[in-house]
Structure 1
Amino acid sequence: MAIGDAENACAARFQVGSEDYWKCVQDQHCGANPGILCQGRVLVERVVNPNPVGNQLGLKGLKPETLELARQLAAELQQPGARVSATRTLQLAEALQEAGYPELALQGMEIAKQVETGRAQPRVQIVTRLNDLQAISRTALADRAVGRNLTQ
C-alpha cells in the first residue's frame, strides 16, 4: 500500500502522529516483514510530514538543513531501485538526537546499522558511531522516563 494511503487508513483508527498511528502506517505500508527500505521511508515521512492530516510540515525544533536532508532522503527512497544510505541515515539520526527526538533517532540508527552490518565489509567507524549514538539516545529516553530532560 502506498504510504499516503496507509496514512489515510490509519488516521481513521488512531490519533494522527501517535506512536500507534505510525506503527499502523508502517504495518500497512510495509506489510508483515518490513525491509530496511520501507522502514526508511516511514522514518523520513515521520520527520518530513509528522501530522499529514493537520498539515504539519516538519517536526518541531528541527534545523532547516535537517528537514532538507529528510526531504532528500524521502525523494531518494521513492526512486526505483533505491538503496538506503547508512551514512545519510546516520546523519539524520544524529540531527534527530540533537533536536530532542531520541525515539526517532534510535529508529534511524537501527536502520543505518542494519544497512552497514549487511555490507560485505562494514565500516568500523560507522558501526562505532552508531553504537555510541544508540547509548546516548537510550540514556535520553531513560532520563525522560524519570522526568529529566537532559537533551535541552
Structure 2
Amino acid sequence: MGRRNTNFRLSVLLRKRVAIAIWKLATGSEYRTISHHFGVGRSTVYNCVREFCDAVVMVLLPLHITMPDADKLEELATFFNNRWSAPQCVGAIDGSHIPIIAPEECAPDYYNRKGWHSIVLQAVVDGKGMFWDVCVGYPGSMHDARVLRQ
C-alpha cells in the first residue's frame, strides 16, 4: 500500500491511507465526505480503500481459506453426486437480495429488478451446506454476473 513521492505531489502516508480505508469501511460515508475529512481527492479515497482491501485479502486469505486438494475435491464431488444427483460438482452458488431502507445518497443504485431496495448477498456452499465464500454489500441494482466477477 505504500506510495512514492513524485515531482508533482507528495505521497499520502501509509498510516493515513489505512485510516482512510478503515474510516470508509467502518462508516460507509461517501467518498466525497471522506476526501474532505482527510484532505485528499475522491480518487485517492477510492484507491486507499481498494488497496487496503486487496492487502487484507492477500495476507489473510491464505491463512483462513485453503483450496481442497485433489482427493478432497473428489470426495466432495462424490458426496454432491450421491446427495444431489449432480455429477462433477463440488459446490453451488446463488444470490439473494437483502431488503434495506434506501440510503439518502445513491438510492436508485439500491433499487433492484424486483421493485424494492436491497443489497446483494452471494454465497458458495459445498454439498453439506458449508459456506466456502460469501460476498455481501453490492447495491441491489447490480447484476448477479457482475457481483460474481467482482
TM-score of the alignment, normalized to the shorter chain, above 0.5: no
| Larger RCO, structures 1/2 (Cα 8 Å, 6+ apart) | 1
More helix by share: 1
More strand by share: 2
Structure of greater Rg? 2
TM-score normalised over the length of structure 2: 0.25
- TM-score of the two chains, using structure 1 as the length reference: 0.25
